[in-house]
Homo-oligomer: A and B are copies of this chain.
Amino acid sequence: MSSASIKPIEQEDDYVTRLTDAERCLERKDPVVWSEWRPGAPLAQDQVEKFERDGFLVLEKIFLPGEIDALIEESARLRSDGSKLTQESLITEPDTNDVRTIFDLDLQSEVFRRLAEDVRIAEPVRFLLDDEVYVHQSRLNYKPGLTGKEFYWHSDFETWHAEDGMPRMRAISASVLLTDNDALNGPLMLMPGSQNTYVSCVGETPEDNHKSSLKRQKVGTPSAETLAKMSEKHGIEYAAGKKGTVILFDCNTMHGSNGNITPFPRSNAFFVYNAWSNQLEAPFGADEPRPNFLARRDPKEPLTLLEGHIE
């Protein structure tokens, strides 16, 4: 337990959170789409409208089958030999030592670095954020079948603001499916429209919160009452698709996933793109920022995007 109290919250914080008195539902103070659509934009007008309305967008069939095979092969190679990866980037199953998550994915794999810089993903993201971008966090997720656990509802931005010091809602996550995902093997569930409400969560951030929150998040999740109201208002959709499908979602869209007792594993590569102008400051609701593998500080330069195919 931390004996220090959290830093005084400055008056001007639009997204104050982790207070001890009460939960608050606040209005979003940033655009969801930062650009104006124009002919020639990297997304169609209805795609941009859908992202603005729902806070997420599914991109299908943007890769060739051979490219998807190359990503899956690289994923298997990375998981098969954890010794070549930095130890802090590796989360393993308690019982079997099987690799469940590899952080800093684009820094430890040439193929996945190439994927992060691919115009087919990063160009739409740059357009939606109307800025250059860099990778705030990246990871490979691999959830086995039969025993895959749930991820409870949360807004990523709440954590990134409180624990990493991300100032504005100007970041987008891209999940690239490496397995077929359907309704039953624990797909990403999202509340469409929830990106416009910021749930300021109750509770001080414990020291080294990320060490337990990566397994089960306790601080920084909305109350049962708020989740019930939000799901009543917004409904719940799930993002399923064949391997190779890409799901883009706003940093404040409420999301989670059920456990998975089907024998079918679920795997994806995950990149968080932050706007270049939105680099991290001191945390807004924690004593110490989280380590670099969870939230990169001082990126050297914006991503240079690549055309062509992944091999």
Which residues of B sit under 8 angstroms from A145, Cβ to Cβ?
Answer: 224, 228
Instruction: Decide: A236 and B262 in contact? CB cutoff 8 A.
Output: yes
Q: A189-B184, A236-B184 are in contact. Are A224 and B263 (CB under 8 A)?
A: yes
Q: Kindly list chain B residues whose C-beta atoms are within 8 Å of the C-beta of A232.
A: 263
Q: Which of B146, B186, B189, B260 meets A227, CB within 8 Å? A: B146
Candidate in A224, A227, A231, A261 with the most chain B CB atoms within 10 angstroms: A261
| B152 and A261 contacting across the interface, CB-CB below 8 Å | yes
Within 8 A of B (CB), among A251-297: 256-264
Nearest CB in chain B to that of A228: its residue: B263
**In the assembled complex, which residues on chain B have CB atoms less than 8 Å from the CB atom of A224?**
145-146, 263
A153 within 8 A of B: yes
In Å, the complex CA distance between A146 and B259 comes to: 12
Asked if A14 is at the interface of the complex by the 8 Å CB criterion, the answer is no
Residues of B within 8 Å of A264, CB to CB, are: 231
Query: Given contacts A184-B238, A227-B146, is CB(A189)–CB(B262) below 8 Å?
Result: yes
Beyond the given A153-B261, A257-B261, could you list 7 further A-B residue pairs with CB under 8 A, ordered by the A residue number?
Answer: A145-B224, A152-B261, A183-B184, A184-B189, A231-B262, A258-B259, A258-B262
A binding-site residues for B, Cβ under 8 Å: 145-146, 150-153, 183-184, 186, 189, 224, 227-228, 231-232, 236, 238, 256-264
